[in-house]
Amino acid sequence: MKKTKYKKVFSMTGELGLRNYTVKDIIDIKGDRQLTQTLPFTPNEAKAAEDAGIDLINTRFNYLKQETAIEIRKSASKTFMSFVIPLLSVPTKDDALKHSYKAMELGADGIIFQGSLNHIEALSNAGIPVQGHIGLVPRKSTWTGGIRAVGKTLDEAKALFQNLKDLESAGAWAVECEVIPSRLMRELSSRTSLVTISIGSGNGCDVQFLFADDILGASEGPFPRHSKQYCNLFREAQRIQKIRVNAFKDFIDEVNTNTFPSNKFEVEVTEEFVERFCNYLDKT
């Protein structure tokens, strides 16, 4: 685990805490070196990411079911963390502000939002650090022709550049850039003030982002082409499941053959004690 110097910060609620980075730190690092980012799905994954020294963490935030985000925030309390606001939960600017303020109250350091520029501008005007999303935006993929790379034509490349400028004007500080050709992304990143976050867009961005599920190989797959698995937790989980099944089978077999429980697992009293007790019962 790398050694980290933490900074004192106040949250929007006035709570004092420690963080590895602030928004200003991340902006100042732009163009100097790449940071790492992941999105864990469990508190244990979040703690492992912080213990390993992952720079930035995202977590999905459901306004109505906040428990997981709260636990993930607690499990990685010193890591800069952005809360992802579900697109369909915030149809209006007032909804976006309400949900984002709640996320900040629960310990978010920033908000990730895939909604309209008007919503992003409203959050920025409220002093909330807000990040946009360009390229392949899965929930808006019908506009870009499905799940595919974006930016392989000149018109698409021009549109991506305009997207960056629009986000700058709306007050965003960072942008997730998904499945954009790496050479194009390198040029785009050097021509924007936004902190650029690559997920499948090469190494020309300021941050490299992969989901924890992809890093850990936590599902059966298939995995996205741009992702790399650094271990195979799915295979390990299958192995552990077999161990569970075999243990239950062994328990059943021992009960059926009257070998469990044996004396080792029973509370003993003397034969004399039992005899005295039986005599008492016989006289009752």
Residues with Cβ < 8 Å from 8, sequence gap 6 or more?
A: 16, 17, 18
Q: Which of 45, 50, 156, 178 is catalytic?
A: 178
> What is the C-alpha separation between 158 and 151, in angstroms, rounded?
8
| Residue 50 known to be catalytic | no
For residues 134 and 163, is the Cβ–Cβ distance under 8 A?
Answer: yes
Beta strands 16-19 and 195-199 are unpaired
Q: Which two tokens stand for residue 176?
A: 């997730």
277: its two tokens: 């007790």
DSSP H or E segment with residue 215:
helix 212-216
CA-CA distance, 222 to 188, in Å (whole number)? 30
Residue 82 burial (CB count, 10 A) = 25
Q: What are the E-state strand segments in 11-89?
A: 16-19, 35-39, 56-60, 80-84
Residue with tokens 């790379």: 149
CA distances from 71 to 61, 63, 67, 106 (A): 11, 14, 6, 10
Q: Which residues contact 127 (CB under 8 A, 6 or more apart)?
A: 12
Catalytic site positions:
178
